[in-house]
Amino acid sequence: MKVMIVGGGGREHALAWKLCRDNPSIELIIAPGNPGIESLGRCVPIGADKLKDLVNLADGEQIDLTVVGPESPLEAGIVNLFQTHGLPVFGPTREAARIETSKRFAKDLMVRSGIPTARATQHSDAKEAKAALANFASPVVIKASGLAGGKGVIVAQSTAEAERAIDAMLGDRVFGAAGREILIEEFMEGEELSLFAITDGHQALPLLAAQDHKRLLEGDFGPNTGGMGAYAPTSIATPELISRAMTEIIRPTLSAMREAGSPFKGLLYAGLVITDEGPKVVEFNCRFGDPETQTILPLMDSSLLELLIAVARGDSLSRTRYPDWSPLCAVTTVVAAAGYPDKVRTGDVIHLPPPEEGVEVFHAGTARHPLTNELLTAGGRVVSVTAVASTLIEAAELSRSHAEQVSFSGKQLRRDIGWRELTRSARVT
Ligand code: GLY
């Protein structure tokens, strides 16, 4: 069986790692991949945005399953294109991907369907947006409607800060066309939870919920990033809470997407806040999360490959059992480059520590020097270090100590991944 993964980050490395574990005899092609994935399959230097080249590659290689990692090719319609060519592909169509690529679309759908989410208003005019701030208490959330690489959300602590964010998005267009429209949202108090569900458009199978750390600095301070680390399982994701989130959020969303004429097939990622009133949606994503994928896949005992194949082939998941999970704990520490999440410096030489039992290092922003073959930094998040152990504290210590040994100039990492859960368990014991 030939499988192609589109993308070249830590999430795609983890997907490749898991699919090879599910079936070691698959032939894997990754476009474009990265130096860490090379040991698992053949990396082909075609960017995730080169849709025609990708479809030609899949056609020529007679690929049995393509799995799309990042959101941009989904927004560009890679699934529509592959389907037109009769190629099995896992991911939502361009229209269904709007659940992530247009925050406005997602908010309208949630409001229309009574899916719990933050109260929000939508604007394309800065003056009107600033006037609307009067209807929100501080802190207030200012969000670009389109894709902004995980950076289009600003939690403003004051009206002045909110006005600066509005000017930056609608006036200076710091996020380009993605910030042509913005949402002003009430800030929701509570812990965040990442819930992934694999869906055929009707049935949805929840995966193990994780908590990620989006802020750059320890204690969850500093600017938002794509994610500096994640852990699972988390005690806030009780079976009752997940059942409630499936009943009140995931299933009604799938139903609303069908009614909108854009059935969602693929992986639906609900970014939730657990408020006093129950789980509410912060945002949806239309693909596997990064770095949560690196955290949860090492704990997945069932075959992911079989689920992805079933959805890509258009089979129903109605008779599929919920996946089985290891009883162990996983912690992922992201090691980021100098300057991340702003102006990232690349080209620093990386030295990785020797492999360690219980630890997987997933490459993200790495590249090989064309002459010396040295491993170099090539992106904001450089590697993610996932440790699996019997307890969360052991996994956190192992992940942190291995990440500390990854060396390159200007590296940044958080040494407190999982702190909320560790604080909770310390309170209990
Ligand atoms: N962990 C956040 C994301 O994948 O967008």
The two structure tokens encoding residue 3: 């499988």
150 lines ligand 1 (CB under 6 A): yes
Q: Based on the number of CB atoms within 10 Å of its own CB, is 226 exposed (0-12), middle (13-18) or buried (19 or more)?
A: buried
Helix (H, G, I), strand (E, B) or coil at 206: strand
Ligand 1 atom index nearest CA of 291: 1
Q: Considering its fold, how many domains does the chain have in total?
A: 4
At residue 369 the predicted structure's pLDDT band, cuts being 50, 70 and 90, is very high
Q: Are residues 203 and 304 in the same domain?
A: yes
Structure confidence at residue 255 as a pLDDT band (50, 70, 90): very high
- The verdict on residue 125 lying in a domain is yes
User: How far is CA 142 from its chain centroid?
Assistant: 20
* Beta carbons of 143 and 183 less than 8 angstroms apart: yes
pLDDT at 385: 98
Contact between 207 and 15 under an 8 Å Cβ cutoff? The reply is: no
Per-residue pLDDT, 428:
62
Give the pLDDT mean for 193-204: 98
154 and 57 co-located in one domain: no
Q: Which of 71, 101, 292, 414 to mutate to test the pocket of ligand 1 (most atoms within 8 A of CB)?
A: 292
Query: How much of the chain, in percent, has pLDDT values that exceed 70?
Result: 99
Domain assignment present for 104: no
Average pLDDT over residues 44-53: 98
Q: Which domain holds residue 262?
A: 191-312
CATH value at residue 44: 3.40.50.20
DSSP character string of 278-341: EEEEEEEESS--TTHHHHHGGGB-S-HHHHHHHHHHT---TTPPPPPB-SSEEEEEEEE-TTTT
Domain end call among 164, 186, 208: 186
Structure tokens at 44: 């082909």
| pTM metric for this prediction | 0.96
DSSP bridge partners of 342: none
Cβ of residue 290 lying under 6 Å from some atom of ligand 1? yes
Residue ending a domain, choose from 146, 161, 186: 186
**Is residue 331 within 8 Å of 419, Cβ to Cβ?**
no
The CATH number of the domain holding residue 417 is 3.90.600.10
Mean pLDDT for the chain overall: 96
Sign of CA dihedral 237, 238, 241, 247: positive
Q: What is the pLDDT of residue 429?
A: 56
pLDDT digits (tens, 9 = 90+) for 64-109: 999 999 999 999 999 999 999 999 999 999 999 999 999 999 999 9
Q: What is the pLDDT of residues 380-401, one digit of tens each?
A: 999 999 999 999 999 999 999 9
pLDDT level of residue 61 (50, 70, 90 thresholds) = very high
Question: 227 in ligand 1 pocket by Cβ < 6 Å?
Answer: yes
Pocket test for ligand 1, best of 212, 228, 272, 281 (most atoms within 8 A of CB): 212
- 259-316: per-residue pLDDT in tens? 999 999 999 999 999 999 999 999 999 999 999 999 999 999 999 999 999 999 999 9
What average pLDDT does the segment 232-247 reach?
98
CB contact burial 158-196 (16+ within 10 A = b; e otherwise): eeebbbbbbebbbeeebbeebbebbbbbbebebebbbbb
CA 307 / ligand 1 centre spacing (Å): 21
CATH number where 276 lies: 3.30.470.20
- Looking up residue 132, the CATH number of its domain turns out to be 3.30.1490.20
HEC sequence for 226-247: CCCEEEECCCCCCHHHHHHHHH
9 lines ligand 1 (CB under 6 A): no
Strands (E), 148-240: 153-156, 182-186, 191-199, 204-206, 211-212, 215-217, 221-224, 229-232
Among 130, 159, 186, which residue terminates a domain?
Answer: 186
Q: Supply the pLDDT for residue 149.
A: 79
pLDDT tens readout for residues 124-159: 999 999 999 999 999 999 999 999 877 789 999 999
pLDDT per residue over 167-193, tens digit each?
Answer: 999 999 999 999 999 999 999 999 999
For a mutational test of ligand 1's pocket, the pick from 99, 153, 285, i.e. the residue with the most ligand atoms closer than 8 A to its C-beta, is 285
